[in-house]
């Protein structure tokens, strides 16, 4: 009940104070402003006015033309004896307090602010208290320093980016689609965070699907890391491990347990590859260094390549022969066609009467008047039971159907990758004999892009020795896989080529 009365009387007083003062103020004697005290508190500024008697007051916020803000308190009937007229205040939002005789019966207290602040007033007997609230401090987390960004390439074709941070900022990751000349981007924002001075802001990424990494202070609070992509999306996972934000892309874990990483990303139908280990059985192929037989090298290499294609590219791989057995050239092509393979890779070793030639060359099918290429084709076609004239008719007939353009690209990518890869592995010298065209029967018969790789000269001393080492054959297989991988990429970005695949 008492509380209720209190509310009523307060309300009455408020009402009385605001609306009726002028009627009564004339009759009341003026009070003197005795004292004004200012207290600076962590939560705001407290101003206490002490007068000699009863008074009325009102308060409001006033904005000047210069966009200055004031809290104004008018007190009446009152007069101003000797008190300080200006009080400066040490407060970020309160500049100074001015006290003046506003008119004959009103004393005005004006508090200059740098911005609008909340306040409240309280009157108690002859005292008036004004409390100006400081703005609530924003809960700002301390900014985290980005210490460094490290890029690595876990095999077979992963991309790992480690962002070292001092603390643990928030992060979000998203893909921005490509627009006009701008490539698609993977964006990682970290906040609150900052880059220290002299931070390396750009790095080229040596990955088939990611070209560049950029790091920048995006705004006051946010550090942005951008990966430029060559494809519209990539499989990746990102999370904090201690003070390291780790991005894993193109890894087995990033694509949720699927080993078919590449074809699934690209949505391409490079699912089945037929590898053709040249010769076999009664046909040993070329004989070389220390009696080394071409048929044995090609079979060993075929198995290594099969394993690589399966694990690295997730392809299904079929060999035209799995052991030392004679298989006709027609049959080899027929195997590839029957399985509806997407690519056909024929593996061979070269030889020449002088035993002096060395190097690697890749062929795709075609007519040529290059005597060297014709000689190589003649040797590889030797097991064919067809006369020259008959062969030419077949050639012309089949050439019209051959996927020559795709085969040319495939040959170019394999040749380039193989040479680069072997040189990168410090085999020296590795002679690049280039991409050539010749009428290989085994290639003509196939319905899919097809190439024949002359992986080296078996009768050359150095290359023959290399063929004896499993490690070298392994490197050859890895180089070929890289070429196929790059070919898939070329096809993906050439709309006219895409139709040629898998159909």
CB of 466 to Zn ion, least distance (A): 17
| E strands, 177-326, in order | 185-191, 193-194, 202-207, 210-217, 223-229, 236-241, 244-249, 272-277, 316-319
CB of 452 to Zn ion, least distance (A): 8
Q: In terms of C-beta density within 10 A (0-12 exposed, 13-18 middle, 19 or more buried), how is residue 75 classed? A: buried
| 370 versus 393: smaller Cβ distance to Zn ion | 370
Contact region with Zn ion (CB under 5 A), list: 26-34, 260-268, 283-291, 415-423: 283-291
Given the DSSP bridges, would you call strands 94-103 and 86-88 parallel, antiparallel or unpaired?
antiparallel
348 belongs to the binding site for Zn ion (CB under 5 A): yes
| 112 versus 350: smaller Cβ distance to Zn ion | 350
| 132 versus 377: smaller Cβ distance to Zn ion | 377
- CA–chain centroid gap for 153, Å, is 14
Residues in 242-281 at the binding interface with Zn ion, rule: CB under 5 A: 278
What is residue 78's three-state secondary structure? strand
Residues in 376-405 at the binding interface with Zn ion, rule: CB under 5 A: 380
Chain residue at closest Cβ approach to Zn ion: 348
* Structural contact between residues 140 and 133, judged by C-beta atoms closer than 8 angstroms: no
Tell me, by CB under 5 A, how many residues bind Zn ion: 4
CB of 357 to Zn ion, least distance (A): 15
CB of 382 to Zn ion, least distance (A): 9
Contact region with Zn ion (CB under 5 A), list: 62-70, 136-144, 347-355, 400-408: 347-355
Contact region with Zn ion (CB under 5 A), list: 111-119, 372-380, 413-421, 482-490: 372-380
How far is Cα 160 from Cα 150, in angstroms, rounded to an integer? 8
| E strands, 22-143, in order | 31-41, 44-51, 56-63, 69-76, 78-79, 86-88, 94-103, 106-113, 119-124, 127-133
Contact region with Zn ion (CB under 5 A), list: 11-19, 102-110, 346-354, 438-446: 346-354
| 74 versus 380: smaller Cβ distance to Zn ion | 380
Question: Which is nearest to 329 in space by CA: 287, 383, 400, 265?
Answer: 383
How far is Cα 142 from Cα 193, in angstroms, rounded to an integer? 8
| 109 versus 452: smaller Cβ distance to Zn ion | 452
Alpha helices in 194-350, H assignment, sequence order: 261-266, 294-313, 329-338
| 189 versus 380: smaller Cβ distance to Zn ion | 380
Contact region with Zn ion (CB under 5 A), list: 187-195, 263-271, 334-342, 374-382: 374-382
466 belongs to the binding site for Zn ion (CB under 5 A): no
Structure tokens at 252: 């087995």
CB of 295 to Zn ion, least distance (A): 8
Structure tokens at 226: 């951008």
Residues 6+ apart with CB under 8 A from 398: 444, 445
CB of 293 to Zn ion, least distance (A): 10
Residue from 77, 169, 285, 449 that binds Zn ion (CB under 5 A)? 285
Query: Which residues form the interface with Zn ion (CB under 5 A)?
Result: 278, 285, 348, 380
């Amino acid at each position: 009940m008492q509380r209720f009365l209190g509310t009523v009387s307060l309300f009455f007083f408020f009402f009385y104070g605001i609306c009726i003062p002028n009627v009564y103020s004339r009759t009341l004697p003026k009070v003197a402003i005795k004292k004004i005290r200012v207290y600076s508190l962590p939560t705001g500024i407290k101003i206490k006015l002490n007068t000699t008697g009863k008074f009325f007051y009102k308060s409001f916020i006033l904005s000047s033309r210069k966009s200055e803000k004031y809290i104004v308190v008018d007190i009446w009937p009152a007069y101003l004896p000797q008190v300080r007229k200006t009080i400066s205040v040490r407060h970020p939002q309160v500049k100074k307090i001015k006290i003046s005789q506003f008119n004959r019966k009103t004393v005005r207290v004006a508090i200059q602010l740098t911005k609008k602040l909340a306040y409240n007033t309280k009157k108690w007997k002859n005292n008036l208290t004004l409390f100006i609230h400081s703005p609530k401090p924003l809960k700002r987390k301390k900014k985290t320093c980005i210490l460094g960004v490290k890029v690595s390439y876990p095999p077979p074709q992963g991309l790992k980016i480690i962002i070292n941070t001092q603390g643990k900022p928030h992060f979000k990751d998203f893909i921005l689609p490509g627009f006009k000349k701008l490539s698609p981007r993977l964006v990682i924002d970290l906040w609150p965070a900052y880059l220290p001075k002299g931070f390396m802001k750009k790095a080229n990424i040596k990955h088939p699907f990611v070209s560049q990494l950029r790091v920048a202070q995006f705004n006051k609070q946010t550090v942005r890391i951008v990966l430029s992509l060559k494809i519209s999306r990539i499989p990746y996972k990102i999370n904090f491990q201690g003070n390291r934000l780790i991005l894993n892309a193109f890894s087995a874990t990033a694509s949720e347990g699927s080993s078919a990483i590449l074809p699934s990303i690209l949505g391409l139908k490079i699912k089945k590859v037929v590898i053709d280990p040249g010769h076999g059985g009664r046909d040993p192929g070329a004989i070389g260094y220390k009696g080394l037989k071409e048929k044995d090298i090609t079979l060993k290499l075929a198995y290594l390549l099969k394993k690589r294609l399966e694990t690295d590219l997730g392809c299904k791989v079929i060999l035209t022969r799995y052991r030392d057995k004679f298989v006709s050239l027609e049959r080899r092509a027929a195997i590839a066609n029957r399985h509806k393979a997407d690519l056909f890779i024929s593996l061979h070793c070269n030889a020449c009467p002088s035993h002096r030639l060395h190097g690697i060359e890749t062929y795709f099918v075609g007519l040529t008047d290059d005597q060297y290429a014709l000689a190589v084709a003649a040797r590889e076609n030797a097991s064919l039971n067809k006369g020259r004239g008959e062969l030419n008719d077949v050639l012309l007939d089949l050439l019209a159907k051959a996927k020559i353009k795709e085969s040319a690209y495939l040959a170019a990518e394999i040749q380039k990758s193989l040479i680069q890869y072997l040189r990168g592995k410090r085999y020296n010298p590795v002679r690049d004999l280039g991409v050539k065209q010749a009428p290989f029967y085994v290639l003509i018969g196939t319905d899919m892009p097809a190439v024949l790789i002359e992986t080296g000269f078996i009768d050359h001393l150095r290359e023959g020795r290399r063929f004896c080492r499993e490690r070298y054959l392994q490197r050859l297989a890895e180089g070929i896989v890289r070429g196929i991988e790059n070919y898939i990429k070329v096809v993906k970005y050439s709309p006219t080529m895409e139709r040629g695949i898998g159909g």
